[in-house]
Amino acid sequence: MNKQKSKPLKIYFKYVKKYRISLILSLISIPIASLSDVVVPLYYKKFFDELVGNGDIAKLTGFLFNVVFIYCIGWIFWRIGSFLVSYLESRVMADLSNKSFKAIHKHSIDFFNNNFVGSLVKKVNKFVHSFEGVMDLAMYEFLPLITTFIAAEIVLFRKNIYMALIVVVWLIIYSTINILFSFYKLKHDIKRTKKDSEITGLLADTITNQISVKLFNANNRENLAFEEKNMELHKLRIFSWNLGNVAEAIHGGLIITLEVGLFFIALKLWQKNILTIGDIVLIQAYVLNIFMRIWRLGRMIRRYYEYISDSKEMIEIFETPYAITDLKDAKELIIHGPKIEFKNVYFNYNQTRNVIHDFNLTIQAKEKIAIIGPSGAGKSTIVNLLLRNYDVERGSIFIDNQKITKVTQDSLWKNISFVPQDTILFHRTLMENIRYGNELAKDEEVIEASKLAFCHDFIETLQDKYDTYVGERGIKLSGGERQRIAIARAILKNSPILVLDEATSSLDSQSEELIQKALTSLMVGKTVIVIAHRLSTIMKMDRIIVMGNGKIIEQGSHNELLLKNGLYKRLWNKQVGGFIA
């Protein structure tokens, strides 16, 4: 448990020490500012001793001027410290946010399949803001408390050692109770945090699928499910808050006990002429100052552990091994003639679902093949393995005699243009979405790619044309329009290997005819893999691979396969209007 709590602090410190100058200056400024709360009561002591003694107006006025001067010095150093801490916090929060962004996006597709988007977003935000909370506690609560307590104890020891010792012992008891109580509360805070993330994930899931909620009359069902989860969170939250209320009640009793006890002692010492009226004022000022800070100490400790629990989920993501990684000596993929080879490939989903068995396929450079077969035959899995969305269980995949597990993933993806069946766009402009294929492309090149993909005309009819925002996931466009944008992006990328996964499935017949012409030009000089159900779109492929149960069961050209009495011929005969019946 202690190791778990120290992990976020190690990460925080790693980034905080990058800004050493700001850190050191703030660690100097804030204690100096805090010392004003210790020094000022010393002048008030002198003020009241003089007031009940000689009552010299000049001296009394001088003491007050000193108080004003010290407060001004404290104010200046507080401002310096607060500006430094603000700069330090904002920089580190940006760094932590960047770290989280990179860490999440390095995970494989399987990781995202198993995590809600909304939940991941909340984990990042809670992790970043937990640092802000811990830093605020350290700089604005803990550091001033330590400074004023040590300085005040030095003064109290000089006045009366017993009173100073009583405060020290009391603080040890108070802090120990708080820490032990916070340990107990922490496990409940972690449960609350997990339930909070779970609810966020449920909310994001229903918002993403809001059309299904409506069309399947599931509003009541989803409302009840959400209310049930919220009630579970409510119970965890109220229990955690009640623990805090109990703790504050105990702390209040301890503080009252110490305050009254100290004043009884001070009164006895005053009667014996050991303490003056000024000393009592000094003790009163110190006790009130320390109590105000110690009262916050209880909350500070509990909040600290709450922040640590908030960061725990993101720490778990940092510690989750990446399913797909580059080898330490991975090299860049160099393409001369993009020949692709699958050799004795086996693959299982989650070690339970057998998909690919002893798969062997060689695709010659610039050859255009189509892969067809019934659902579950393994067509899309072959593409996912080529893209290294998953790694093979056994066997190897080569591109230009280079094993893809021995080249960098970035160089692999750079050389493959992929157009998926279900295109999802960024909530950005059309210009930005198309340029995603080549960030260095000029506007004229983007427009030319759009024309080749036959989406320029419909873009020009939009009010903002290429500056039109497409909505989350491209929801403002039709399926066919999104698909043409994806094809324009692939045209702009112009990689030597082209993979089309049902790239024309969302298009009407007229658009499909135009896209087929565009794809014919796009395929020139490239190695092409087309996943298809609509057999009319693949008749002109150099070779058609027919898959079943994770294996190749027949292959050849369209005409060759029709001469065989195999699966391809049966699928072709069943085809009606370009679709498989």
Tens of pLDDT, residues 406-446: 999 888 888 988 888 777 788 888 888 888 888 888 888 88
Average pLDDT of the segment spanning 125-146: 86
Structure tokens at 538: 């693949």
Task: Looking at 320-417, list the stretches that DSSP marks H as alpha helix, in order from N- to C-terminal side.
Answer: 379-386, 409-414
3.30.70.100, 1.20.1560.10, 3.30.565.10, 3.50.50.60: CATH of 2-319: 1.20.1560.10
Element at 36 (helix H, strand E):
helix 36-52
**Per-residue confidence (pLDDT) for residue 298, from 0 to 100:** 65
Q: pLDDT value at position 578?
A: 44
Q: Which residues contact 451 (CB under 8 A, 6 or more apart)?
A: none
CB 37 within 8 A of CB 150: no
Per-residue model confidence as pLDDT tens digits over 521-551: 677 788 999 887 777 677 778 899 988 888 8
Residue indicated by tokens 């408390």: 145
Q: What pLDDT score was predicted for residue 212?
A: 63
Written as six digits, the tokens of 124 are 């990042």
**What pLDDT is recorded for position 581?**
33
Higher pLDDT, 462 or 478: 462
Which fold does the domain 423-494 belong to in CATH?
Rossmann fold (3.40.50)
Hey, how many other C-beta atoms are within 10 angstroms of the C-beta on 257? 11
CATH 3.40.50.300 fits 338-415+497-506+525-581, yes or no: yes
* CA dihedral for 398, 400, 406, 410, sign (positive or negative): negative
pLDDT (tens digit per residue) in 52-98 = 777 778 888 888 888 899 889 989 999 999 899 999 988 988 888 88
DSSP lists the bridge partners of residue 422 as none
Query: In Å, what is the CA distance from 124 to each residue of 4, 179, 186, 318?
Result: 18, 27, 20, 11
pLDDT at 198 over 80: no
Residues with Cβ within 8 Å of 538's Cβ and at least 6 positions away in sequence, in order, are 370, 372, 530, 532, 544, 558
Q: pLDDT by residue (tens digit) across 383-401?
A: 889 988 888 888 999 999 8
Residue 488 has pLDDT above 80, yes or no: yes
A 10 A CB-CB count for 295 gives: 16
- How do residues 544-581 score in pLDDT, each as one tens digit? 998 888 888 888 888 888 888 888 888 777 764 444 33
Cα four-point dihedral sign 98, 102, 105, 110: negative
Backbone angles phi, psi at 526, to 5 degrees: -115, 155
Structural tokens at position 150: 């040590």
Closest CA to 366 of 550, 184, 496: 496
**How far apart, in whole angstroms, are the C-alpha atoms of residue 534 and residue 501?**
11
Mean pLDDT value of segment 108-127: 76
310 vs 351 pLDDT, higher one: 310
Q: Which tens digit of pLDDT belongs to each residue from 151-164?
A: 877 877 777 777 77
CA atoms of 497 and 417, how far apart (whole Å): 6
Q: Judge residue 283's burial from the number of C-beta atoms within 10 Å of its C-beta, 0-12 exposed, 13-18 middle, 19 or more buried.
A: buried
| The predicted structure's pLDDT at residue 216 | 59
pLDDT of residue 32: 92
Report the mean per-residue pLDDT for the chain: 80
Q: What is the per-residue pLDDT across 230-263, written as a single tens digit (0 to 9) for each?
A: 888 888 888 877 877 777 777 677 777 777 777 7
Mean pLDDT of 323-342: 87
Domains 338-415+497-506+525-581 and 423-494 share a fold: yes
- 25 has pLDDT over 90: yes
Task: Please indicate whether residue 262 or residue 36 has the higher confidence score (pLDDT).
Answer: 36
| Least trusted range by pLDDT, from 67-76, 82-91, 465-474, 482-491 | 465-474
User: How high is the pLDDT of residue 579?
Assistant: 42
- What confidence score (pLDDT) does residue 83 get? 92
The answer to whether residues 390 and 347 touch, using CB atoms and an 8 Å cutoff, is yes
- Residue 5's pLDDT is 55
Supply the pLDDT for residue 577. Answer: 40
How far lies 278's CA from each of 43, 233, 283, 482, in Å?
9, 53, 9, 80
Q: By the 8 A CB rule, do 175 and 149 touch?
A: no
| Cα–Cα dist 491/160, whole Å | 84
Looking at 272-390, list the stretches that DSSP marks H as alpha helix, in order from N- to C-terminal side. Answer: 277-319, 379-386
Q: What is the pLDDT of residue 21?
A: 92
Q: Quick one: what percent of the chain has pLDDT higher than 90?
A: 9
Could you please report the per-residue DSSP string of 98-152? HHHHHHHHTS-HHHHHTS-HHHHHHHHHHHHHHHHHHHHIIIIIIHHHHHHHHHH
Q: Residues 6 or more apart from 329 whose CB is under 8 A from it? A: 406
Region 115-143: mean pLDDT is 82
- Assess contact for 396 and 554: CB atoms under 8 A: no
DSSP string, 152-218: HHHHHHHH-HHHHHHHHHHHHHHHHHHHHHHHHHHHHHHHHHHHHHHHHHHHHHHHHTHHHHHHTT-
Q: Is 499 left (phi over 0), alpha (psi -120 to 50) or beta?
A: beta
Residue 76, pLDDT score? 93
Domain boundaries, the chain: 2-319, 338-415+497-506+525-581, 423-494
Contact between residue 446 and residue 429 where contact means Cβ atoms under 8 Å apart: no
Given a contact cutoff of 8 angstroms between Cβ atoms, the answer to whether 457 and 512 are in contact is no
Give residue 397's pLDDT.
92
Cα 167 to Cα 173: distance, rounded to the nearest angstrom: 10
Full-prediction pTM beyond 0.85? no
